Structure 1
């Protein structure tokens, strides 16, 4: 299988490296070049350590992680796990580099381990044989410091095991093409993962082959590329650590990504090594690292993990099979496929029985393995067999669900475990224990749902507050699918909440980020509310009743009782001094939403009631703001008037207090004469409608107002504005009034074509807000006025004429009018017309 590599004529540099590698072996310095998360590399490395019996094992990982080796070796630590590193940029130090001041404050990165990671095996096997273990790579903070000066810092979390060099190598791409492999992953499986157990138990030859593979890939890259990626700096750091351990009595085994092995060998035999040092002067980064739970779905290269093998659950099973040396590989295949087909059947993804699916897939996989020279079916053999056996026709023919189920099974959702007594932030420990206490399932990263009976079960109320707290802090643990929301006034009649949740590495990473600010979620949420208040102050909105009410509602939802008294006092003060009508109305609305949820949120009903009445009263005192004639304010003021009226009617209905005279206060502050004076016809229509609804004018009086607004000779825009006000408040009043519709019809009849086209967009907007039944009622009455109520007449209407055709016809009609006018025939034209427009009759 390795003939493809062994037949390649090695470049002189690589041939020299093999010679140097042999010389270093004589000095008891050995190399295990690996691919990260490779079961074959892990298995060969396990036997290599048993054969070499090294005194020191030096592993490619940031040396600042050294203190975490003890946690990694704990019997309670179960992979997949990861070291989560944070480098924090310290802006307090003065710097001449202006671009550094705009960098993200925190740079985060993961260094994952799974059961078949060679680094994990090196730690476990080395500890078993009492070898000294050390991490020798460049610290994450130093990498951030270097890349910051090259403007390569990204706000995204990074991966400290990136292997994109191998994926993008021209040599590997050409070799894959020559061996008819689809990509570098299939080529790797073909050449390495599918070597027999006898070959893997010869680790010297195996790692020589891996070294050749990686070194040939490295030769594709210029030094400048490696410099900008900090690869040269990392390799020099590893070289320094190796040199410090280089003693006659030490037997060193160096476990690094194979891409770096060539450079390390060359440095160790070169008397003059070019130093690549990270300048420590003016260094602005501080590093912290913790061991966290990790998951297979985050390890999957198909999900974007830069150094991962695809389908980690599949390779975990392969690793387990490799360590069962006496087992038959065919039996292992049948066991694996049996579980997979059973899973597909449970998810209703199969169109055939599980037995037939198992039989056909196994036969196809074994045949493909034999054809391709594999001693057992590999991942690509299995995928090809599944596609051929289970998918009939094209992939687009409804087979995506089946393939997604297969991908999910091969990827896996297993979540690792860390030692309970390990060093980790108190916030992370407290939150994890709290979530466990509340009986959430945290064994894997699968999305789960939980329904909360928030009104009848006090424990469910506590869980709801806790989940809202996590959401507010953007922890990412849970998402609310449904339930009452007393902040945004949605679903307030619902009795249950439904949440979707999953504990993932991203959740732990977020909690670690937050841990720098405190060790209690409530403490962090309180601080964030205070920060929001400061932001509002900076924006000149610190005394806004609306924003303060929103903060109060947020504090109620999160159960931050210590903040409630302060915010309630602040809100009362701001209600007294806030002169913005919209702000006061919004504050009153927010308080009303809280009043609806008073039982669930455990709020004092009377205090809320008093605050609502006070907010409404204060809003009534500033109703003179409705007389603002700016066009952009008129629409907002109509909405404000309607919202204030709804608040008052709700208060009088819900509070059942006889001495409330809020409507009297509102109407006392409104002057219809000023609406005429400032030409605010939309507000006037709204006001007349409200007066009628509150029985302060009769139906006859309202119809008289409408008739005056639509009377012949009224300006078209004024009539439309008045109509908009009526329909915005109560469209049913206009729909049920024959007089109003007929008066408007008569007015429209007297509009010229130009006037009608000018007003048409507004009319369309107005009537588009009616429901279908209301539109049908109006159209029916118009049909009566125009004598088109007979359905047979409507059949003569050309319904296929578009708006563009109609406008083109109007243009042609105008051209004809001009021609007739030039020929002195205009009067003849209109005398012969069956219906003469009023404007021309007057002429």
Structure 2
């Protein structure tokens, strides 16, 4: 039986990939086994198909529970990717030998269910029990049950041991220098095997998570079984490509077939489907799955592409840095480029390295280009060290119909998914831009937030929309999950909304859903949502909920014509809600505490704006009658009374004389200062214009403040100061000028006999600070 050739690699390592291709050319294997999901073997020939551009990932998921999913990413410089390409190009049988996803996802599902069902103490006991099972399993598999390394020593990256012994700060930099930035053919793999086998023997087999440790034992048992099956086929030159950490487990000859069969017997299974999906370099930086947590995929791509011209590694990289800086109008001359190249090569020579690595290039860039300023290196890290590359897959790759519908819409509307963040400015009067808006809103309803609405000025909600777009690979998994609702975006979004309506009891959430449905142009879902809203509103007595429903519904009337939506579909619901709210609001504002008054105030102001947008005669009249009841009621809190009076003044429902009379009463000498201050806060409503343009209001407030007794003034000053602090700086400056001029202010009576001028001047510093007046 032929001995296999084991190639221990690091996922997404360009040095490993380069050495692996050279080793394959020399070995000419007749069977290749790769660490990967066996269910995806049928997709491997697509690596050479037109339109396949890495980075890409194999997505394995459970169609009955799409949240159960695993990604296996590949970059152009991934050893597994190059091994698959070599096998397909040379017509060599290639197989994945990892634990099947049918078993892996079933174990993941069982663990999730156990975590959800078990309380914390029971969960801890389960872990303890698992520890005992793991000890027995490790002994049966030939792994030491008691690792040689202590718990403290085993914390962190195992490669740190070798790195520290070689004088490096961490395992990442050591591995980059010794492996990824070199390419030594098959000799490299012999050295890696020796180092990793010794390291694993010292490090031990156990992990902090016993269930994850058990899963690793099962994975390696299945790898050994696949290797034995390949040997039975008569292959003479079997090449095994796997993570270097697994080499010792595959080399262990003392593990019997019977032991591995016992480990794998009776494992749970679920149904699994697989497909290729685009991936990004930013996702390769994640330390989960085959993401491997590499920190510099952009640099690794540069290493891979410059392998045949190593002399251009330094110059080519620094030229890209220079181009980035010039694009941002930063100083970067040819002299800078020459000096940075010399410095990087000199640093590499001082450190006895054959060529400059990323560390030397970063130091040269910082010293020469950035003049020691690290802040200038952030965009270099984003653009070059990590990179923004987004892969693509062929059109004939298996996908769900919902994904196909999205791809067709993207093609029709000329919306290309990109890994970089970009701004999309839409004019909804344009039919193509309106269709783009519908698409993005439908995706948001399906929980696929490809675009986020930017709240820039007054852009949101008018004929002008600004979106921030950035495509994420996991959106494809969310589309797969959403495919249960329909085969097109319209069908899926409509079905999802109709199902969601039955589970929503909050009126504000239902009203917001009406707006979202209309923005997404889902005509079939509008009747269901509006009917649910009307039914809930008829049964609720919560005024806060009623108030919160008005603003989103009013937006439909304001922007319906521009968005080409039928605003009349919700007219009856909105009109009924306005009348119901107007009837219930005066009673709801009676005898409320300060916190409740503040909450009512915000919703009252928003609802008042919504009523103004509706512009219905009967509804507006009912609303204004409710405001007059609030303004005149002695049982309503002063804050809400002040708000109601201000709204009536702004709408010209109350004359200035009526407002002056109400103010005179509320700010009279007999009024409690705290209540008077609350009324004033509500009336001013964070807007100083009424003070600046109405002399009578100015005079009333001035006389009220001047007439306060000392103890009352001390009590009311913080409240008044809080009110004035809500004004803008320009408004406070204008108020200070008005106070300094003194025009239009009623003359004060002469001071009585025995007037103490020094004592009277004591509040002046506080008043100056309150009004922003310089002494």
TM-score, normalised to structure 2's length?
A: 0.80
Task: Say whether the 8 Å CA contact 2:428–2:464 is kept in structure 1.
Answer: yes
Contact 2:276 2:393 (8 Å CA) reproduced: yes
**1:431, 1:240 → 2: CA distance?**
41
User: How far has the Cα of 1:568 moved from its partner?
Assistant: 3.9
1:256 matched to which residue of 2?
A: 242
Within the candidate set 475, 488, 497, 2:448 is matched to 475
8 A contact 1:365–1:384 mirrored in 2: yes
| 1:49/1:126 contact within 8 Å kept | no
Structure 2 match to 1:667: 625
CA drift at 1:245: 2.4
CA contact (8 A) 2:298 2:384 kept: yes
Report Cα offsets for 1:240-259 as digits up to 9, x if no partner.
Answer: 11122222722222111111
User: Does the 8 Å CA contact 1:233/1:276 hold for their aligned counterparts?
Assistant: no
Are 1:352 and 2:332 matched, yes or no?
yes
Residues 1:279 and 1:271: Cα distance change in structure 2 (over 3 Å): closer
The one-character-per-residue Cα deviations of 1:435-460 (angstroms, maximum 9, x if unpaired) are 12222344x522233322222x1111
Cα RMSD between the aligned structures? 4.3
Q: Provide the rounded CA distance (Å) in 2 between the counterparts of 1:492 and 1:172.
A: 51
> 2:192 is paired with a residue of what secondary structure?
helix
SS of equivalent residue, structure 1 residue 401: helix
- Consecutive unaligned residues of structure 2, counting only runs of 5 or more, are 117-151, 752-756, 771-775
Structure 1 residue 32, shift from structure 2 partner:
1.5
Given the alignment, which residue of 500, 515, 534 partners 2:468?
500
- Residues 476 and 506, structure 1, Cα contact 8 Å, conserved in 2: no
Count, aligned residues: 717
The SS at the match of 2:379 is helix
Alpha-carbon distance in structure 2 between the residues aligned to 1:536 and 1:134? 49
Equivalent positions of 1:205-604 (< 5 A) are 205-225=187-207, 228-229=212-213, 230-247=215-232, 249-251=234-236, 252-267=238-253, 273=259, 277=263, 280=266, 283=268, 285-300=270-285, 307-322=292-307, 324=308, 327=309, 329-331=310-312, 333-349=314-330, 351-353=331-333, 355-393=334-372, 397=373, 399-405=374-380, 408-442=383-417, 445-455=419-429, 457-482=430-455, 491=459, 495-537=463-505, 541=506, 544=507, 546-571=508-533, 579-604=541-566
Task: Provide the residue aligned with 1:772 in structure 2.
Answer: 732
C-alpha separation in 2, matches of 1:368 and 1:411: 23
Asked if the contact 1:480/1:498 (under 8 Å) is kept, the reply is: yes
Partner residue, 2:12: 37
Q: Within 2, Cα distance between the matches of 1:42 and 1:153?
A: 40
Q: CA 1:39–1:802 in structure 2 vs 1: closer, same or farther (change >3 Å)?
A: same
* Counterpart residue number, 2:670: 713
- Structure 1 residues 263 and 300 mapped into 2: Cα distance closer, same or farther (>3 Å)? same
Matched-pair contact (CA < 8 Å) for 1:176–1:182? yes
Residues 511 and 493 (structure 1 numbering): CA distance in 2 closer, same or farther, change over 3 Å? Answer: closer
> Which residue matches 1:189?
176
In the TM superposition, residue 236 of structure 1 has moved relative to its aligned partner by: 0.7
Quote the residue 2:128 is aligned against: none
Match of 2:133 in 1: none
Structure 1 residues 733 and 140: alpha-carbon distance in aligned structure 2, compared to 1, 3 A threshold: same
Q: 3-state DSSP class of the match of 1:116? A: coil
Give CA-to-partner distance per residue, 1:549-575, whole Å, 9 cap, x none.
322211111110112234345555566
- Mapping for residues 603-682 of structure 1, pairs under 5 Å: 603-604=565-566, 612-626=574-588, 628-631=590-593, 632-635=595-598, 651-652=614-615, 660=618, 662-663=620-621, 666-667=624-625, 675-676=633-634, 678=635, 680-682=637-639
Asked if 1 retains the 8 angstrom alpha-carbon contact of 2:639 and 2:680, the reply is yes
Kept in 1: contact 2:34–2:95 (CA 8 A): yes
Is the CA contact 1:344–1:402 (under 8 Å) kept in the aligned structure 2? no
Matched, 1:179 2:154: no
Give the 3-state SS of the residue equivalent to 2:273 in structure 1: strand
Tell me if the contact between 1:267 and 1:273 (Cα under 8 Å) persists in the aligned partners.
no
Structure 1: how far apart are the matches of 2:651 and 2:17? 82
Work out which of the residue numbers 52, 66, 75 in structure 2 matches 1:77: 52
Deviation at residue 686 of structure 1 after TM alignment: 5.1
The answer to whether the Cα contact below 8 Å between 1:137 and 1:237 also exists between their aligned partners in 2 is yes
Distance 1:702 1:460, change over 3 A: closer
SS, match of residue 357 in structure 1? helix
Which has the larger displacement, 372-381 or 267-276?
267-276
Counterpart contact for 1:616–1:647, Cα < 8 Å = no
SS of the equivalent of 2:58 reads strand
Q: Does 1:127 align with 2:88?
A: yes
1:404 to 1:686, Cα distance in 2 relative to 1, 3 A: closer
Offset from partner CA, 1:79-113 (integer Å, 9 cap, x none): 221112235787xxxxxxxxxxxxxx824332111
TM-aligned CA deviation for residue 635 of structure 1? 4.7
Shift of residue 121, structure 1, vs aligned partner? 1.9
Structure 1 runs not aligned, ≥5 long: 1-25, 91-104, 156-164, 485-489, 807-843
Which shifted more, 137-146 or 775-784? 775-784
Q: Contact 1:451–1:498 at 8 Å: present in 2 too? A: yes
Secondary structure at the counterpart of residue 306 of structure 2: helix
Distance 1:754 1:74, change over 3 A: same
- How far residue 463 of structure 1 moved from its aligned partner, in angstroms, is 0.9
Distance 1:344 1:302 in 2: 30
1:110-153 CA-to-partner distances (Å, cap 9, x unmatched) read 21112222212222222333322111111345335446666799
- Report the secondary structure of 2:668's partner residue: coil
- Change in Cα spacing, 1:120 to 1:713, as seen in structure 2 (3 Å) is closer
Change (3 A) 1:696 1:262: closer
Give CA deviations for 1:278-303 in whole Å, capped at 9, x if unaligned.
5646x475433221112233224799
User: Aligned partners of 2:580 and 2:705: how far apart in 1?
Assistant: 42
Provide the secondary structure at the position in 2 that maps to 1:220: helix
SS at match of 2:94: strand
In structure 2, relative to structure 1, the CA distance for the partners of 1:31 and 1:564 (3 Å cut) is same
TM-aligned CA distance change 1:757 to 1:305, over 3 Å: farther
Q: Deviations over 1:300-358 (max 9, x none)?
A: 47999852544323333332333x3xx5x325643454344233322334x330x2233
Q: 1:528-585 deviations in whole A, cap 9, x for unaligned?
A: 3224322224xxx4xx4x4443222111111101122343455555666655444444
Q: In the alignment, is the contact (CA less than 8 A) between 2:631 and 2:642 conserved in 1?
A: no
